[in-house]
Amino acid sequence: MYRKSQSLFRPSSWLDAGGGVRPTADAIASSRTLGDRAVQRLSMTANLVIFLGILYTVLHLIGCLGLLHGYHLSGLVVALGILGLGYGIRYGSSVCLYAAIGVCAGLSLYFGVLIVSAWTPYSTLRLVLSTWTLWRLCRAIPVMRILQQKRAFPLPMSRYGEAVLRRFQKRAGPKKEA
């Protein structure tokens, strides 16, 4: 039975033709479907970082209002930083990618210490989210390099974002001059 490869760096056509030899960056960049998957993978990773930045920002703002305990102003700065790093990744910054990896590694370590010292389900959820994001960011490093070589930035907007943008543009309509 023939199984199709799902790997970004070893598509099945290269495995059969090259005997398992790794392709060059140019061969990867020239593959249209591979490039599309690379864009999709990096976009999803950037969206995940942006989502976590928005989630942490909202939670810290609610905490600043006194409705949640354990959220402080210093955490709001980190949350806004994560949000900014997500947009930096979307626009092709390797520095933002590595900084996001560092922040997520630090958060994973922090939440791991919280779990060891005083286990709560919420700390476990935060550890899982930050570790998953760290894993996705580490997998995005070679994809970022490929897309930087192709000059594929900024990454395209998601289908949902395009639909919302079209809806707002239809509402606004053409501007009439008075």
Closest Cα to residue 137, out of 98, 80, 111, 108?
A: 98
Mean pLDDT, the chain, rounded, equals 78
Per-residue pLDDT of 14-53, as tens digits, reads 444 445 566 555 555 555 565 677 778 888 888 899 999 9
- The answer to whether residue 3 scores a pLDDT higher than 60 is no
Q: Given this model, what pLDDT does residue 25 score?
A: 55
Provide the pLDDT confidence category of residue 117 given band limits of 50, 70 and 90: very high
Q: What is the dihedral of CA 40, 45, 51, 53, to 10 degrees?
A: -140
User: Could you tell me if 35 and 150 are in contact, meaning their C-beta atoms sit under 8 angstroms apart?
Assistant: yes
